[in-house]
């Protein structure tokens, strides 16, 4: 009965989506509202809860104190994830994926094992959730440079679009489950910060992070011509004997921990082999240190950098040299607002965290799938993160 209700809910969601796409084909799917100018500072009650992960502990013990506190939320998400498909298919999928745990590079596989033990859930379920986050994200990342060459970094992480709509909550159901699981993590060794991230409790990979006084990064999904590149990459990873290709979020965490500089980070993120195409957005501590890395599985393609002529960069989920699709053009509104706010004729002195937050709070850059907003200053190591819930007349993505 429960699976039948979930199935019917999916069908209703699909009907709504078909109608929406048909409407978008006739009219403009996303219309820019006035650029927000008063969203910052955000309310204190949407600040994200912070935790410390001690890298000096054995990998299987590092996450216990966090996932035990978030155990109920993790189980609710897994139950919903399981309900998205017939039981036999989910069991087949998780049994298939569990074969891959031995191929996870250390210490990340051991961390996943430790998380599964701590929350008393099947290892395959926790592994499946970690992989799910790799496949489905819709994001906006911005790098902006002030007149003195100081670089700032902001991002919205959007997740859950098209995966079930909650009419009562007026939001995507996946986003509803993940907002309470969003955490800020301070990774420490010897009692000192090595890097900081924003991620979901129960995961070990990273989509947003900062290595203080070195660089910051965000990861966006890429929508190339091969739509199923991500899932097929996972299948190849499990079946093949090769361990050369990496999950994008696992590579990112390794780079945060080990890269010695912005240039080192850009090199590693540009050259390592991946399971699926992505965008890495990287900001540094010196003038013009800002790059959008467009990745195929094997190489970087047409990197875009800050320059004297370009003091901000915007990346959503489409190649920057191509026109975004009619149904998802968050890039244009973000660019319009940034141009307005960085107008050199303005007499107002810019607070770049305020500017970035306002842009990331402008509809449709902010939408029903947005889970959190993060602001980063790699030069100082400052990172601020906030849960988001776009109520009212927001676009679905």
What residues act catalytically? 139
SS (H, E, C) the chain: CHHHHHHHHHHHHHHHHHHHHHHHHHCCCCCCCCCCCCCCCCCHHHECCEEEEECCCCHHHCCHHHHHHCHHHHHHHHHHHHHCCCHHHHHHHHHHHHCCHHHCCCCHHHHHHHHHHHHCCCHHHHHHHHHHHHHCCEEEEEEEECCCCCEEEEEEEECCCCCCEECCCCEEHHHHHHHHHEEEEEEEECCEEEEEEEEECCCCCCCEEEECCCEEEEEEECCCCCCCHHHHHHHHHHHCCCCCCECHHHHHHHHHHHCCCHHHHHHHHHHCCECCCEEEEEECCCCCCEEEEEECCCCEEEEEECCCCCCEEEECCCCCCCCCCCCCCCHHHHHHHHHHHCCCCCCCCCCHHHHHHHHHCCCCCCCCCEEEEEEEECCCCEEEEEECCCCCCCCCC
Torsion, Cα 230 138 223 325, to 10 degrees, reads 150
Q: What is the distance between the alpha carbons of residues 35 and 37, in angstroms, rounded to a whole number? A: 6
Torsion, Cα 232 88 17 327, to 10 degrees, reads -10
């Amino acid at each position: 009965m429960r699976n039948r209700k979930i199935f019917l809910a999916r069908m209703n969601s699909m009907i709504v989506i078909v109608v929406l796409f048909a409407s978008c084909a006739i009219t403009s799917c996303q219309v820019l509202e006035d650029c927000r100018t008063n969203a910052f500072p955000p309310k204190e009650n949407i600040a994200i809860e912070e935790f410390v992960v001690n890298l000096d502990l054995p990998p299987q013990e590092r996450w216990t104190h966090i996932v035990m506190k978030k155990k109920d939320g993790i189980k609710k998400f897994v139950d919903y994830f399981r309900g998205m498909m017939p039981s036999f298919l989910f069991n087949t999928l998780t049994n298939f994926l569990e074969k891959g745990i031995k191929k996870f590079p250390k210490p990340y596989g051991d961390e996943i094992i430790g998380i599964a033990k701590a929350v008393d859930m099947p290892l395959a379920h926790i592994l499946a959730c970690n992989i799910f986050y790799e496949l489905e994200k819709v994001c906006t990342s911005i790098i902006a440079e002030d007149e003195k060459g100081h670089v700032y970094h902001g991002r919205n992480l959007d997740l859950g679009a098209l995966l079930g709509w909650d009419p009562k909550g007026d939001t995507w159901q996946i986003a509803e489950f993940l907002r309470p699981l969003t955490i800020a993590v301070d990774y420490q060794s010897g009692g000192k910060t090595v890097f900081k991230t924003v991620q979901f409790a129960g995961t070990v990979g990273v989509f947003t992070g900062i290595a203080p006084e070195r660089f910051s990064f965000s990861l966006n999904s890429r929508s190339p011509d091969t739509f199923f590149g991500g899932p097929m990459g996972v299948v190849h990873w499990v079946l093949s004997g090769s361990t050369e290709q990496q999950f994008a979020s696992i590579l990112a965490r390794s780079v945060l921990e080990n890269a010695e500089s912005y240039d080192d980070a850009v090199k590693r993120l540009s050259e390592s082999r991946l399971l699926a195409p992505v965008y890495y957005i990287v900001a540094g501590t010196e003038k013009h240190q800002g790059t959008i890395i467009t990745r195929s599985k094997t190489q970087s393609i047409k990197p875009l950098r800050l320059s004297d002529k370009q003091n901000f960069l915007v990346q959503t989920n489409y190649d920057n040299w191509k026109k975004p699709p009619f149904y998802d053009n968050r890039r244009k509104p973000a660019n319009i607002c940034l141009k307005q706010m960085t107008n050199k004729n303005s007499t107002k002195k810019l607070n770049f965290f305020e500017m970035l937050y306002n842009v990331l709070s402008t509809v449709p850059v902010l939408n029903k799938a947005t889970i959190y907003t993060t602001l980063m200053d790699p030069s100082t190591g400052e990172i601020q993160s906030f849960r988001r819930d776009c109520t009212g007349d927001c676009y679905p993505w």
